[in-house]
Structure 1
Amino acid sequence: MTYLQLAYVHLATILPAMALGTGLLFLKKGTGGHRLAGRAYMALMAATSLITLAMPARVGPRIAGPFGFIHILSAVTLVAVAVAWRAARRRDIRLHRRIMVRLYIGAFVLAGGFTLMPGRLMHEWLFG
């Protein structure tokens, strides 16, 4: 896949993840709906992280081959999703909640903020 195709696939996973994640912040916790939406959210976050690992860094220094600093967030997301899922299965709700809130902030505030920096594809699409 080309970089542009990967970017479209990334958007196709991250936009619904953002909507689900926002809804999960407000949805009553522990319900069947929460669990279903949470599974979808975790799957979308894992998928989008894997997709971004296939996208070479285009801005800033590369730290290893095609990987730049932004890719660290992809790896952290994959670990966070796995640990949060396991915490939920073990009924460690405090750990699950802490990881999921931090994942949401890291993914949509931190990483989302990086995508809007000049020189990045999303910046070009939104601001020309």
Structure 2
Amino acid sequence: MDFAPLLNAPLLVQCHVVFAMTALVLVPVMLFRRKGDRLHKIIGRVWVLAMGFTALSSFGIMDIRLIGPFSPIHGLSLLTLYSLAGAVINARAGKIEAHKGNILGAMGGLVGAGVFTVLPGRLMSQILFPSAEVIGFVAILALGVLGFVLWRNKLKHAI
């Protein structure tokens, strides 16, 4: 790993990475841990804040300009904010299945955006795989598929 590209990036990008990594680290905990207890609520609040700040900070990062100053990632950020609001509203209203759907949607957005950040040539790829960006990207994809399969298997056994 080489943190120089991150340390040389603008402060907003550095904060965005910290928020996103906080949310990403909590994803497996949220997927595989027991739901509904006090710790679940604490972890959930931290995750929603991290995701919210990740989405909001993305609007200040405009390296890829496809639609004026924006890119498709900014659309994903809007959907994420919508999902997070729905998750909180539904949890407070006791609509747990809807809450779960909102959370899974936001998680999908995080993972989807994360895949694009490790494309060869992007900042996170330079940080994580400074001398093997293509191999690193393939490894991330493989781990993502494995995680998805494990998660789906857990869901099948829970039914």
Band of TM-score, shorter chain: 0.7 to 0.9
1:87 aligns with 2:82: no
RMSD: 1.7
Q: Does 1:49 align with 2:51?
A: no
Contact 1:87 1:93 in 2 (8 A): yes
Task: Provide the residue aligned with 2:99 in structure 1.
Answer: 96
Q: Corresponding residue for 2:115?
A: 113
**Tell me, what secondary structure is at the counterpart of 2:10?**
helix
Q: Which amino acid aligns with 2:27?
A: G
Q: What count of residue pairs does the alignment treat as equivalent? A: 123
Once the two structures are superposed, residues 5-59 of structure 1 have per-residue CA deviations (whole angstroms, 9 ceiling, x without a partner) of 222111111111112222111221110110111011001100111111111133x
Partner residue in 2 for 1:125: 127
| Distance (whole Å) between structure 1 residues aligned to residue 121 and residue 18 of structure 2 | 21
Tell me which amino acid in the other structure corresponds to 2:78: A
Give the match for residue 43 of structure 2: 37
**More RCO (CA 8 Å, sep 6+):** 2
TM-score by length of 2: 0.71
Shift of 1:114: 0.8
Q: Distance in 2 between matches of 1:114 and 1:55?
A: 14
CA shift at 1:75, angstroms? Answer: 0.9
- Report runs of 4+ in structure 1 exceeding 4 Å deviation: none
Identity across matched positions, percent = 33
* Structure 2 counterpart of 1:45, one-letter code: M
Aligned to 2:25: 19
Aligned: 1:68 with 2:74: no
Q: Secondary structure at the match of 2:67?
A: strand
**TM-score, normalised by the number of residues in structure 1:** 0.87
Which amino acid in 2 is paired with 1:20?
L
1:20 and 1:51 map into 2 onto residues whose CA distance is: 19
- Per-residue CA distance 1:47-88 (angstroms, 9 max, x = gap): 111111111133xx5213x21111111111111100111010
